[in-house]
Structure 1
Amino acid sequence: MSFLSRIMVVKSKAHFSAGGNNHPGDLSIPFQGTRKKSSNQARSRVAIVIVSFAAVYCVIGGRLVQYGLAKPDTVSSIGRADNLMASRPDILDRNGEILATDIRTVSLYAEPHKIVDADEAVEQLSTVLPNLNVAEIYNKLKSKSRFQWLRRQLTPKQQSEILALGIPGIGFRPEKRRFYPGGATASHIVGHVNVDNRGIAGMERWIDNQGLADLAAIGMTSDAKLEPVKLSIDLRVQNILRDVVVDAMGKFKSLAAGGVVMDVKTGEILAMVSYPDYDPNKPADGAKEGWMNRMSNGTFEMGSTFKSFTTAMALDSGKVTLKDSFDARFPIRIGGFTIKDFHGKHRVLTVPEIFQYSSNIGTAKMADIVGIAGHKEFLTRIGLLSKMQTELPEVKTPSQPREWKKINSITISFGHGVSTTPLQTAVAGAALLNGGHLIEPTFLPRTAQEAEAASTTVIKKSTSDDMRFLFRWNAVNGSGKNARVPGYNVGGKTGTADKVVNGRYSNAANFNAFLAGFPIDDPRYVVLTFIDEPKTDKGNGAALAGNTAAPMVRDIISRSAPLLGVEPKFGEDGSALLVSY
C-alpha cells in the first residue's frame, strides 16, 4: 500500500471514530466550555479591582500614619504653635473682678507657593474683609516665601465666611486674644498687649518682665491656665474716679485731668486715672493722646501743694512751730524777680494762716530758715526728687535745677522750679499724714506687715500730727472748703500753678491740683486730683484749684468712701447718728 493510501485509511478511521461517539443533536459540551471561561475571567477582574482598592487605601493609611508621626514644620516668620497658644494669666481687681483675660481666636495666613491665582484670592478675601489692603495682600500672595500672615485675630463669622470661599493655600492658626471687659476704665494701670499677646504697657508689661516673656521666648509656655494676678485696684472706686475725672474735663474744657486714691497705711493704689485714656481692646485708637499716663509718666510743677512739704520741712527741722509767725506784708525781691502773694493779707501771718491763705511770702521765709541744703535734702528724703519705684513701667524721673541757689529754693518752696509726677506727690502726701512713713506705692495687694517692712520714716510723728491739723484747718477755713464731705472729715491743700508758655510763666494757663486725706483725724486714704488748663467763662486764670480740683475730690470721696468701709461721723465729737426713716 502506498504512502498516500495509508494516509487516507487513517483519515477515514478517525472520521468514523468521531462520528460514532457523538449525537447530531447534542450541543451542550461546547457551550459549557465557553461559560466556564467567561466565569474565570470575571473572577480575575474582580480580584484585580479588590487588590487595586486595597493598595490605594494602604497608601492613604500609610501617609496618614506618616503625617501623624511627623514633627510640625517650623517657619522662620512665626513661632511654634504652642507658643502662639500660650496663655497669659487673668488680671483681677482686689475683689476678684476680671480686668483682663484671654479668649480664643484664629488668624488668617497664606502659603504663597500653593496660591493658584493671587488676583482671584485677593478679590475673594476682600468680600469678607472689606478694609483689606489689596496691594499689600497681593504682594504677600505673589512672594516667594512659604508663609505670610494676612490678618490676625479674626472673628468666628469672618473665619466661617473665608472657609466657605474655598481658596487653596489659605489657612487659619489658633491664637489667644487679650480681652479687657472694662474697656478704658483702668487702661493705664492694666496696660495692653500687642498682636502676639505680649505685654507692652502697664501691668501687662510688668507680668512679662517677671519672666513670662523669657519663658515664651524659649518655648516653655503652654496653653495651660495660669494663676491669676490680683491687683490692689478696687474696680468700683476706679470707675467712680474715672467718671469724676471725665466729667470735670468736659465741664472745664481742659487739656487733661487725673486722680488717684491710695491707702496711706499700706501704699496700695485703690484707683488711678489719667485722661485722655484709651480702650486697651483697641489700643491703636488712643495712640495720639490716650497712651500718655500723666499720673506716673508726666511731670508737672505741682504749685501750692508743695507748700505742704515746705511747711512739714520747717516743722520737722525744729526751727518752726505752729505758734510762730512770719511777716508777709511786703513782696520778696531777689535776682530780678518779685515774689508776692496771690491774695495777700499784707500783715504778719501765723503758720496756720500761711497755710490757709497759701502765702508765697510766708512759705518762702520758712524755707529760708531751713536753708538750701536742708531744703534739697528734705525733698529728696520724702521722695519728690528721685524716680519713683513701683510696678508700672511708665514712671518718669522728676526734674530739678542742676544747681540750687537761693532763688531756686524760694520758688520751689511754693511749687515752681521742680517738676514731679502727680502720683509721687500723693505718695509724699501720704507720708505727711500717716505718722511720717514713706511707703513705695504698689498696684499689688500688700499687708500691713509688708508695708511696715517696706516703709521708711521720713518725718517725726509730731510733724505728721501738725500736718493733719493744718490740712483740716485749710478745709474748714481756707481754699479746701469745696472738698469737704459731711461726715468724712476731709482735709487738704490746693495747688494752682502757672504754666510755662514760651519760656515764661503765664497766669492765663494753670495746672490745678488738690491733695487731700480722709478721715483726717486718723487718715486711711489720700486722694489727689489734677486738671490741666481748666477754662471758665471768666477766663483761664479764674479757674483756680479750689473751684476745679477740690470739687473733684469731694465727689470722689462722697461716692467711694462707703464702698471703702469708711463710716461717717456726725456731730462735734462724731457720736451723732444720721437716721433715715
Structure 2
Amino acid sequence: MRTPLRPLTRILLARQRGENPDLIERENLDRRHEVLREKTQVRASARLGLLALAFGCAYVTIGVRMGHLAASVPVEPVASARGAEIVAQRADIVDREGRILATNMTTHALYAHPKDMVDPKGTAKKLAEIFPDLDAAALERRFTDGRSFVWVRKVLSPEQMQLVHEIGDPGLLFGPREMRLYPNGTLAAHVLGGYSFGAEGVHSAEVIGTAGVEKAMDARLRDPAEGGEPLELSLDLSVQATVEEVLAGGIAMMNAKGGTAILMDVHTGEVLAMASAPTFDPNDRPTPLVDKNAEPADSPLFNRGVQGVYELGSTFKIFAVAQAMELGLVNPNTMVDANAPMTWGKHKIKEFEGHNYGPLLSVSDVIAKSSNVGTAHIALMVGPLRQQAFLKSLGFFEPTPLELIEAPGAKPLIPKRWPEIVTITTSYGHGMSASPMHLAAAYTAIANGGIYIKPTLLKQTGPAKGVRVMSEKVAAESRKMLRRVVTDGTASYGEVEGYEVAGKTGTADKPKKSGGYYKNKVINTFASMFPASAPRYVLIVTLDEPINTLGSIPRRTAGWTAVPVAAEMIRRVAPLLGLRPKVELANQPTLTAAKN
C-alpha cells in the first residue's frame, strides 16, 4: 500500500512541537517522486539496451549477407509466373575423341507488340524483304487484328537482327535464346537426328530432341545433375566422314537409289561410323514426307541402317553353316547335296543364273560359291525350331537396342508360320527381313569368337560383356570360310592388300507391295570383317537398287556393286583406325661384302 502524504501521527507530533505540518507532505512527495524517477530510469536503460541489440543484430545480418553475395556466382532472376521457368541449357554431343558434333549457340528471337507499332504496314513490308519466306500481307493482318503479341521469327542471324534494328519500329522486340548448332553439317546427321523448340517464352526457349540420339538421350542431355558434361558417342569423326564420302561416291557410281554403311568394333560393340544416304543437314531439318504413295526410304530423314528392314540375301548363309557346325552335324569338309534345282513340295530352289554346283559340295565351298541348294540342305539338318532359337540368340527377332529413337520401331519382319520351306528360304536370307544393324551385330559374334554383343552408340571404356552363341572353334572355322569368299568366291573385288578382308555377299530381290518380287530391283549387301586372322571391325555396306554399268554388261549382284564400295571404305578407313597392313616383302638379293 502506498504511504500517505500526510500521516496523522506525524501531523499531531509536528503540531505539538510547533512545526509546520505542510512540510511533512512536501517531504513525502519528494520521496515518492525520487522512487518514480529511479523506476523510470531503469526502464529507459533497458529499452535503450534492447534497441542497441536490435540494431547490432541487423547490422551483423546485413554484413553477413553482403559477404555471401560478394563471394557467390551471380544468378539471373527467374520469374515466378506459371510456365516462365524454361530449361534451355543442353549438353554438347562429342565424338570419341572429344570433337564437337552438336553444341549450343546464343541467338535471338523476334516478336512484336502491335499496339506499340508506329507503322504496321510499312514494318510488315520491310520484314518480308528481310525474310523472304514471310508474306507481307499476312504479317500486316496479324499486326492489325487487335493482337497484343505476335511471334515473327524464332531464330535470327546477327545480320538479320541488325537489319531489323534498322527498321526502327518500337513495336519490334528481341528475346535472347539458345539454339542447337551442328558444326559439321550433314556429317552423322542420321545419328544426331535434330532438334526443335519445346516450351517457349519471350526470353528463353526449351531445346528438345526430335530424332536420333538427340531424342533418345533427351533426358540425359537436359539433366542439370550432369553438370553440362558432354555426351560422348562411340563415333569417330574422321572415320565417319570417310565412310560417308565413300558411300556417296559408291551410290553415284553404282547408280543406286540409296545406301547405308555401318562400322562396328567387334569387342566393345561400339558403332564407329553409321552412314545413310541420301542425307540431310540437321541445322535445317527437312519436313517428313506426307505423300501416302511415297515409300519411307524416299525421305532423306529415313535411316537405312536401322529403319531399313530388308531381306539380306546370302549374307545369312554363314549362320546356317555355323549352327550346323555348332550342333556337330557338319564340318568344313563335309560333303552336302548341291544338285540344282532342288524340289521341295511345290517349290523349286534354284541357283543364281541357273547354275548347278552339284552333285556335291563341301560346306566350305557352299559358302565360297554361295550355293542356295547346299545351304538349304544344311538348314534342313538343323530344323525349324533350332534355327529359330539360333537366330533369336543373334538378335534377329527383336529391334536392335541402339540409342536411337528410331531403333525400337524397326522390328524384323518374321514369318508367322515356320514350316520347313521357311527354314530353307531363311537360310539364304529370303522370307525374313532385318536391318543392316541386326546383321552387323550378328557378324560381330562370328568375328569376336562367338560372343553376341549389343551394339551401342555410346563410348565404352573396355570390352563389353555378351552372351556366347557359338564356340570359338566354330567362329574360327566360319571366319576361314568367309575369307575364302573374298579370295576364291563371290567377293573377289573385296580384297584389300594387307588387311585380310573376310565377308559374304548378299543379293536379294526387292519385294513388291502387292506381293512377289521385282525382277530388276535388288538390295545388295556385303557383310565383312577385317583383318580375318584376328578381326577387330565389322563393316556392313548395303545398296538399294544398284546397277554397275562400268562394263559392257549391266550387273546387279553384290559382288559387282556393294563389294567394291566396301573395299574402298576399308582401304581408306583401316589406316585411320591404326591398323597396319601386312606386307609380304619380296625376296631380296643377298649382299656380299668385298674388299678392293
User: Which bracket does the TM-score occupy, shorter chain normalised?
Assistant: 0.7 to 0.9
Match of 1:83 among 82, 86, 97: 86
Answer whether contact 1:508 1:541 (CA < 8 A) is retained: no
Change (3 A) 1:376 1:568: same
Query: In structure 2, what is the equivalent of residue 497 of structure 1?
Result: 508
Q: Secondary structure at the match of 1:356?
A: helix
Distance (whole Å) between structure 2 residues aligned to residue 412 and residue 294 of structure 1: 21
Query: In structure 2, what is the equivalent of residue 551 of structure 1?
Result: 564
Distance (whole Å) between structure 2 residues aligned to residue 317 and residue 399 of structure 1: 26
Answer whether contact 1:119 1:138 (CA < 8 A) is retained: yes
1:310 aligns with 2:324: no
Answer whether contact 2:340 2:357 (CA < 8 A) is retained: no
Change (3 A) 1:232 1:535: same
Change (3 A) 1:204 1:576: farther
Amino acid at match of 1:309: F
Counterparts of residues 106-125 of structure 1 (less than 5 Å): 106-125=108-127
Change (3 A) 1:73 1:136: farther
Distance (whole Å) between structure 1 residues aligned to residue 317 and residue 187 of structure 2: 32
Q: Secondary structure at the match of 2:238?
A: helix
Instruction: State the Cα distance separating 1:340 from its structure 2 match.
Output: 1.1
Q: Secondary structure at the match of 2:194?
A: coil
Query: In structure 1, what is the equivalent of residue 306 of structure 2?
Result: 296
Match of 1:470 among 469, 473, 481: 481
Query: In structure 1, what is the equivalent of residue 104 of structure 2?
Result: 102
Change (3 A) 1:566 1:140: same
Change (3 A) 1:244 1:388: same
Distance (whole Å) between structure 2 residues aligned to residue 71 and residue 375 of structure 1: 61
Distance (whole Å) between structure 1 residues aligned to residue 260 and residue 552 of structure 2: 21
Instruction: State the Cα distance separating 1:555 from its structure 2 match.
Output: 0.7
Amino acid at match of 2:100: I
1:397 aligns with 2:404: no
Query: In structure 2, what is the equivalent of residue 149 of structure 1?
Result: 151
1:129 aligns with 2:119: no
- 1:220-252 deviation digits (Å, cap 9, x = unpaired): 79xx98211111101111011001110011112
Query: In structure 1, what is the equivalent of residue 46 of structure 2?
Result: none
Match of 1:482 among 463, 485, 493: 493
Answer whether contact 1:311 1:363 (CA < 8 A) is retained: yes
Distance (whole Å) between structure 1 residues aligned to residue 553 and residue 451 of structure 2: 37
Answer whether contact 2:195 2:214 (CA < 8 A) is retained: yes
Distance (whole Å) between structure 2 residues aligned to residue 155 and residue 425 of structure 1: 44
My pick for the range that moved more, 360-369 or 224-233, is 224-233
Change (3 A) 1:434 1:497: same
Distance (whole Å) between structure 2 residues aligned to residue 286 and residue 252 of structure 1: 27
- 1:407-455 deviation digits (Å, cap 9, x = unpaired): 1111111000110000110110110111111111111111325x12xx1
Change (3 A) 1:337 1:576: farther
1:419 aligns with 2:433: yes
- 1:451-506 deviation digits (Å, cap 9, x = unpaired): 12xx1111111111111111111111101211111111111100011111342123
Change (3 A) 1:181 1:285: farther
- TM-score relative to the length of structure 1: 0.80
Change (3 A) 1:330 1:157: closer
Q: Secondary structure at the match of 1:561?
A: helix
Instruction: State the Cα distance separating 1:105 from its structure 2 match.
Output: 0.7
Q: Secondary structure at the match of 2:474?
A: helix
Counterparts of residues 62-461 of structure 1 (less than 5 Å): 72=79, 80=84, 83=86, 86-196=88-198, 197-210=207-220, 212=222, 226-284=228-286, 289-342=299-352, 343-395=355-407, 396-449=410-463, 451-452=464-465, 455-461=466-472
Amino acid at match of 1:301: E
Distance (whole Å) between structure 1 residues aligned to residue 77 and residue 209 of structure 2: 33
Change (3 A) 1:310 1:139: farther
Distance (whole Å) between structure 2 residues aligned to residue 91 and residue 268 of structure 1: 16
Unaligned runs of 5+ in 1: 1-68
- TM-score relative to the length of structure 2: 0.78
Q: Secondary structure at the match of 2:102?
A: strand
Amino acid at match of 1:425: L
Change (3 A) 1:70 1:327: closer
Amino acid at match of 1:375: Q
Change (3 A) 1:384 1:153: same
Distance (whole Å) between structure 2 residues aligned to residue 393 and residue 284 of structure 1: 18
Instruction: State the Cα distance separating 1:570 from its structure 2 match.
Output: 2.4
Distance (whole Å) between structure 2 residues aligned to residue 541 and residue 459 of structure 1: 40
Instruction: State the Cα distance separating 1:294 from its structure 2 match.
Output: 0.7
Q: Secondary structure at the match of 1:281?
A: helix
Distance (whole Å) between structure 1 residues aligned to residue 174 and residue 102 of structure 2: 25
Amino acid at match of 1:252: M
Distance (whole Å) between structure 2 residues aligned to residue 136 and residue 316 of structure 1: 71
Answer whether contact 1:278 1:285 (CA < 8 A) is retained: no
Answer whether contact 1:279 1:286 (CA < 8 A) is retained: no
Amino acid at match of 2:263: V
- 1:348-390 deviation digits (Å, cap 9, x = unpaired): 0000110011000000111100111111111111111211112
Change (3 A) 1:407 1:73: same
Amino acid at match of 1:524: R
Match of 2:573 among 554, 560, 573: 560
- 1:516-550 deviation digits (Å, cap 9, x = unpaired): 01111110000110111112347997221011111
Instruction: State the Cα distance separating 1:97 from its structure 2 match.
Output: 1.4
Match of 1:510 among 500, 522, 525: 522
Q: Secondary structure at the match of 1:284?
A: coil
Instruction: State the Cα distance separating 1:274 from its structure 2 match.
Output: 0.6
Distance (whole Å) between structure 1 residues aligned to residue 130 and residue 334 of structure 2: 77
Instruction: State the Cα distance separating 1:293 from its structure 2 match.
Output: 0.2
Answer whether contact 2:547 2:561 (CA < 8 A) is retained: no
Amino acid at match of 2:327: S
Distance (whole Å) between structure 2 residues aligned to residue 233 and residue 143 of structure 1: 51
Distance (whole Å) between structure 2 residues aligned to residue 263 and residue 121 of structure 1: 57
Identity %: 36
Query: In structure 2, what is the equivalent of residue 24 of structure 1?
Result: none
Instruction: State the Cα distance separating 1:72 from its structure 2 match.
Output: 5.0
Answer whether contact 1:306 1:414 (CA < 8 A) is retained: yes
Unaligned runs of 5+ in 2: 1-75, 199-206, 290-297, 589-596
- 1:90-115 deviation digits (Å, cap 9, x = unpaired): 11111121111111110101123333
Answer whether contact 1:262 1:525 (CA < 8 A) is retained: yes
Distance (whole Å) between structure 1 residues aligned to residue 479 and residue 78 of structure 2: 69
Q: Secondary structure at the match of 1:361?
A: helix
Distance (whole Å) between structure 1 residues aligned to residue 217 and residue 77 of structure 2: 35
Answer whether contact 2:123 2:167 (CA < 8 A) is retained: no
Answer whether contact 1:312 1:467 (CA < 8 A) is retained: yes
Answer whether contact 2:269 2:455 (CA < 8 A) is retained: yes
Distance (whole Å) between structure 2 residues aligned to residue 512 and residue 446 of structure 1: 31
Answer whether contact 2:340 2:351 (CA < 8 A) is retained: no
Instruction: State the Cα distance separating 1:336 from its structure 2 match.
Output: 2.5
